[in-house]
Chain A
Amino acid sequence: MVSTEELIEHDVQLGLGSPWVVIVWDDPVNLMTYVTWVFTSYFAMTKPVAERLMLQVHNSGSAVVATGTREEMERHVEAMHGYGLWATLRRADE
């Protein structure tokens, strides 16, 4: 039988233990309308959701735009760098 400790260890290895997040940082160059467009185009957000997040980036300096496994978040960060948004990933609990 597999012990609880082993299952937890397995979950952590799979990245299920604690989720990762993608953070988009404020940037004086990217147009507000462009950032909103990227969020609707890439993340398929509705325009109101995308605008709210864009404003959070603009006013607070950053916003969490996605949560999930480390691998998924790395894919999103790669996509964001393709669009020219300043994005990073980190563990959700930090």
Chain B
Amino acid sequence: MNSGFVRVGDLIERDFSAEEVDVLTSLAVGLDDTLDAAEGDDPVLDRLLPAAYGDDDPEASAEFARFTRERIAEAKRGRLTRLLLLSADEHGDGSRLSLDEAAAQEWLLALNDIRLALAARIGVDRLGDPRLGPIGDVYDWLGWLQSGLLDTVDG
């Protein structure tokens, strides 16, 4: 099924319904808050800012985190802020998204982080379980949306 992204000249565009904007906005704000705190035992942070040396060398992983964690988290938050411009553009019945090549790449990374965060909250073992209900539908929708954007960027 067509994900709705279209090329218009050098731009990639898509119409978002007000409901779609609401879903994306609340997920992006939630993840932004999590990254802002950026501490504590949180499965989302464990996945988005994983140990660079795995379990092999916790000391080197901690050292790496000390130098990079804030920088990586800030870059992710910057991309979420760009994504949130969508809701600033909303006029009751929805929003028209218009992305140049650089913005489309930022969207791809931001959507990926949102999917990773949602999956970590759900628990990756439970993904695809039909009993998940609405949250499972949102997760599937995000994958479909990211896949469609990727095809349009790549195509």
Contact = CB atoms under 8 A, between A and B. Distances in A.
A binds B: yes
Contacts of A74: 52, 64, 68
Interface in A24-60: 27-31, 33-34, 37, 41
Interface stretch (B10-18, B92-100, B104-112): B104-112
A28 B109 contact: no
B116 A84 contact: yes
Contacts, number: 70
Given A29-B115, A81-B72, A90 B109 contact: no
Nearest to B110: A84
Given A29-B119, A74-B64, A82-B76, A34 B48 contact: no
B47 interface: yes
A88 B54 contact: yes
Per DSSP, chain B at the interface is helix
A14 B115 CA distance: 39
Contacts of A90: 53-54, 56
B87 interface: no
Contact of A31 (B51, B105, B150): B150
B75 A82 contact: yes
Contacts of B52: 74, 77-78, 81, 87-89
Nearest to B75: A82
A86 B124 CA distance: 14
A78 B143 CA distance: 24
A94 B75 CA distance: 32
A22 to B, nearest CB: 10
B83 to A, nearest CB: 14
A73 to B, nearest CB: 9
B42 to A, nearest CB: 15
B150 A34 contact: yes
B129 interface: no
22 contacts: A27-B116, A28-B124, A29-B115, A29-B124, A31-B143, A31-B147, A33-B150, A34-B112, A37-B108, A37-B150, A37-B153, A41-B105, A81-B48, A81-B49, A81-B50, A81-B72, A82-B72, A82-B75, A82-B109, A86-B47, A88-B51, A90-B54
Given A29-B124, A84-B113, A86-B47, 12 more contacts: A27-B116, A28-B124, A29-B119, A29-B127, A33-B154, A34-B108, A34-B146, A37-B108, A41-B105, A81-B52, A88-B50, A88-B53
